Structure formats: structure tokens, C-alpha cells
Amino acid sequence: MKIATWNVNSLKVRLPHVLDWLATTQADVLCLQETKMEEKAFPHGELEAAGYRAVHNGQKTYNGVAILARTALDEVACDIPGFADEQKRVLAATVEGVRVVCAYMPNGQAVGADKYGYKLRWLAALADHLRDELQRFPKLVLLGDFNIAPDDRDVHDPEAWKDQILCSEPERAAFRRFVDLGLADAFRLFEQPPKLYSWWDYRQMGFRLNRGLRIDHILLSVPLAAACTACSIDKAPRKLERPSDHAPVIATLDAAP
DNA sequence: ATGGCTTGAGTGTCAAGA
């Protein structure tokens, strides 16, 4: 199974890129973030024509998450149970025995801002929920836009970003809490090229200068980590006309036992 | 320097992203 995540920064704008990328990679599951649309606008028809069914938890203008799959999506669940939140950031479904949790984690704006407090509360609520979910679903993958660069290797200029939003110690501690639940960062299971990131600012030639951050992640529970044979970030779509500012991350899992 | 791009909203210009 090939499973991937991509913050598309508007599915309306990026649908052609998504369809091209699915055709090229033949991914089995693709999680999207920032669809920025209501359910009635979601392009089910175009995706079905490409061989993918989809579930979506969306809203107008902001946020919005979707899971695309070539096979059935079962036990679909939206949001974080028990955590009051108007923002559509979480969607889960079971695909071929694998529990897929797609997340668009809050940005936080700036360390100390109100949105930063919301981000930390949100991350704690998701971790609490996943601790329970892992009991129900030992084969679980948490993937999406984490808006956290886990360590300095994931930052183009660690000095400039030190203690800044996306890199602060409380955010990194929240990331480690997911890891401590038994979820492994698939990207770091393998040797990787240096200075490979998943997001680059649209401004100031961020991509051309490779001023990026690795903030999009695929985290695998123990049995899935054991079955993982590859994980990479695909920079190709970031080079297209009118790209998303994020690149997709893709992992390969051996055939399910 | 709170800027520098991009998107969605909505038609002038702002919020939000990261």
C-alpha cells in the first residue's frame, strides 16, 4: 500500500495537480489538507473518474481534510471526540485494515499568541484521543500537515527559527508525545538526502533557495512501521505552475498481513 | 521593516497561512 499526505492549499485550485500526481504515483491512499471548501463543492465526480473514492470533512474558506482511496473507506469519523472545535481539521477512516487519521494541525501564528494556546490544547486533545484509538486499531497511521518541524534537521536555518512558531520546544514536545504513543516518523526510518523539506514560503524565492521546513509527516504504529519499506518527499509538484506551498509525502507499506 | 506571496471572500481590501 502506498499512502500519502499533501496540503493542497485549496483543492479547487489544485485539483489538476492532484489528479496528475495520483496518475503518476498510483498512490492507494491520499490524505489532503486545506481543501478550503464545503462538501457540496467537493469534486467527487472527477476523483471517481480517476479511480478514487473520497470522504471529506470540510468548511468554507479555511481548513478542510479529505481521504482519497482506491478501495472502500469504512468507519469514517470526523474531528476529535470530546474536543469542542469549529475548525474542520481531522478525518479518520479504515482502509484495508489500516486506520488512517488525516490531520491538519493548527498553525499557531506566533509563540504566545491565542492561536498558539489553541494549537497546544488541540495537540494534547489529539494525542489523548489517539492513545485510545491505538487500542482499537493497532494498525494506525497519523499523517498530515503537523505544522511542527520536529528537530533542527527539519529547518533550513535553525538559528533563525529557534523558538519560533513551528519550531518551539512545546510544539516539539507535542510531536514527541505522538512518537511516545508508539508512532514512528516514517521519513526518519530511512536514510534521507540532507536539507529535504515539505514546505517552502511562496515569498522571497523560498523554494528556489530551498528555504524550507519539514512539517508534513507520516507517523506509523509499530506493526505498520515494521511493514514500511520506503518514505520520501516528492518535490516535483512544487515546481509546477501555481503550486501548493507544500509537497506531498509518501510511504510504502508491505502488503497487509 | 509585520513586509515579502497565495487563496478566498467579494469588488476594495483584508484575514490567514507558516
The pTM (predicted TM-score) of the whole model is: 0.97
Burial class (CB in 10 A: 0-12, 13-18, 19+), A220: buried
Which amino acid, residue A148?
I
> In this predicted model, what pLDDT tens digit does every residue of A14-35 receive, in sequence order?
999 999 999 999 999 999 999 9
Nucleotide nearest to A11 (CA to C1'): B7
Best CA proximity match to A186, nearest among A216, A162, A149 = A216
The gap between A115 CA and B14 C1' (Å) is: 19
Q: For all residues of chain A together, what is the average pLDDT? A: 97
Contacts of residue A160, Cβ cutoff 8 Å, sequence gap at least 6? none
Q: Is the model's pLDDT at A128 over the cut of 60? A: yes
- Judged by DSSP in three states, A82 sits in coil
User: Could you identify the residue whose CA is nearest to the C1' atom of nucleotide B17?
Assistant: A107
For residue A195, the Cα-to-chain-centroid distance in whole angstroms is 19
Chain B positions with any atom < 7 A from a protein CB: 4-9, 16-18
Using a 7 A cutoff on CB, list residues near strand B. Answer: A 7, 9-10, 12-13, 34, 36, 60-62, 106-107, 109-110, 115, 145, 147, 165-166, 199, 201-204, 213, 215, 242, 245-246
> In this predicted model, what pLDDT tens digit does every residue of A80-103 receive, in sequence order?
999 999 999 999 999 999 999 999
CA dist A109 → A11, A100, A120, A147, A148 (Å):
23, 27, 12, 10, 12
Task: For residues A142 and A145, give the distance between their C-alpha atoms in angstroms, rounded to a whole number.
Answer: 10
Grid coordinates given for A225: 512501521
Grid coordinates given for A227: 511493514
For helices A169-180 and A114-136, give the axis angle rounded to 10 degrees.
Answer: 10
Note the pLDDT of residue A134.
Answer: 98
Nucleotide nearest to A60 (CA to C1'): B8
Tell me which residue has cell 469542542.
A84
Q: Is the model's pLDDT at A256 over the cut of 70? A: no
A179 and A219 Cβ atoms separated by less than 8 Å: yes
The gap between A7 CA and B8 C1' (Å) is: 16
Task: For residues A105 and A201, give the distance between their C-alpha atoms in angstroms, rounded to a whole number.
Answer: 18
Grid coordinates given for A67: 481521504
Q: Is the model's pLDDT at A257 over the cut of 60? A: no
> In this predicted model, what pLDDT tens digit does every residue of A178-209 receive, in sequence order?
999 999 999 999 999 999 999 999 999 999 99
Note the pLDDT of residue A255.
Answer: 76
Q: Return the DSSP state at A246.
A: B
Note the pLDDT of residue A187.
Answer: 98
The gap between A78 CA and B18 C1' (Å) is: 25
Q: Measure CA of the first residue to CA of the last residue in chain A; give whole Å.
A: 12
Task: For residues A33 and A145, give the distance between their C-alpha atoms in angstroms, rounded to a whole number.
Answer: 7
> In this predicted model, what pLDDT tens digit does every residue of A209-234 receive, in sequence order?
999 999 999 999 999 999 999 999 99
Outline where A82-241 has alpha helix (H). 114-136, 158-161, 169-180, 222-227
If you write DSSP's letter for every residue of A185-213 in order, what string do you get?
A: EGGGGS---TT--SEE-SSTTTTTTT-EE
Note the pLDDT of residue A35.
Answer: 98
Q: Is the model's pLDDT at A236 over the cut of 80? A: yes
A25 and A68 Cβ atoms separated by less than 8 Å: no
CB atoms within 10 A of CB A173: 13
> In this predicted model, what pLDDT tens digit does every residue of A140-181 receive, in sequence order?
999 999 999 999 999 999 999 999 999 999 999 999 999 999
